[in-house]
Amino acid sequence: MTKKDMQFKPVTHVLFDMDGLLLDTEVIYTRCTEEIAARYGKTYPWEVKLKQMGRTAPDLAKVIVEELGLPLLPWEYAAEARIIQEKSFTECQLMPGAEKLVRHLKSKKIPIAVATSSSEETFKLKTTNHREFFKIFDHIVFGSSDPEVKNGKPAPDIFLICASRFPDKPAPENCLVFEDAPNGVTAALAAGMQVVMVPDPRMDELNRSRATFCVDRLENFKPEVFGLPPYDSAAT
């Protein structure tokens, strides 16, 4: 843990972001954007990446084109990016601790779901080697292709819709969100949920500070901090 252990409001349901949280895709997004930016004599600074992390595909493309001053329309950038990404997304690996935590919650009958800004089509590429893992979740909401998600992160829509699709429709305050991006943290808080942030090591304190709780690595999270069943001693 990056902070002294303390008890927060107990939760009953858990929602997970995907990119950079469950799957190590951010390095692919970074490499892709750097390659396209270089074609036009531009660089891709960390400050711009912060602004686009967690957004839906259309919003992401718009931010990158505008912030980098690329001589492209957002859809043109997205088309170029797609070609590069399709070659790499099938190589995505799970983040450290992701499988352990998800399987633990499932074994304890905690309702779990994914709220990703990806489209369903892109999700299928990214999860090529992890089909069985993603079947563990009760459901998955795709922010870039779900017609009910009118506004992407940092708006709260995706988390509210994701929670509403559990059969028992939990109140927002009973949901815990896991996120790696500031936009996702903002969205979760706007939805009235607690949020655990697992930030990129480069993330400054200001962007970490709004989260309910921060942990340096997902594998170091202690479920009991939020009233969830602790790991069995043999699994710790």
pLDDT at 3: 43
Q: Tell me the torsion sign for CA atoms 192, 176, 128, 23.
A: positive
Residue 233 lies in a domain: no
pLDDT at 156: 97
123 and 188 housed in the same domain: yes
19, 59, 146, 180: the catalytic one is 19
Residue 8 lies in a domain: no
pLDDT at 197: 96
Give the residue from 128, 131, 118, 109 showing the smallest Cα distance to 29: 118
**CATH code at 209?**
3.40.50.1000
Domain hosting 35: range is 26-91
The answer to whether 17 is a known catalytic residue is: yes
129 and 222 housed in the same domain: yes
Q: Rounded to an integer, what distance in angstroms lies between the CA atom of residue 144 and that of residue 46?
A: 23
pTM score, two decimals?
Answer: 0.86
CB 101 within 8 A of CB 225: no
pLDDT at 30: 87
pLDDT at 1: 42
Give the residue from 179, 32, 142 showing the smallest Cα distance to 92: 32
167 and 204 housed in the same domain: yes
Q: Tokens for 145?
A: 């292709």
82 and 123 housed in the same domain: no
Name, in order, each residue with C-beta under 8 angstroms of 95's C-beta and a sequence gap of 6 or more. Answer: 20, 21, 22, 23, 24, 198, 218
**Consecutive 10-residue runs of the chain (236 residues): their mean pLDDT?**
62 97 90 93 89 80 93 93 86 94 98 95 92 97 93 95 98 97 95 96 84 94 96 70
Q: Rounded to an integer, what distance in angstroms lies between the CA atom of residue 209 and that of residue 150?
A: 27
Number of domains in the chain: 2
pLDDT at 234: 54
pLDDT at 51: 83
Q: Rounded to an integer, what distance in angstroms lies between the CA atom of residue 72 and that of residue 62?
A: 10
80 and 96 housed in the same domain: no
Residue 190 lies in a domain: yes
The answer to whether 200 is a known catalytic residue is: no
- Strand, coil or helix: 21: coil
Burial 181-207 (b: 16+ CB within 10 A, else e): bbbbbbbbbbbebbbbbbbeeebeeeb
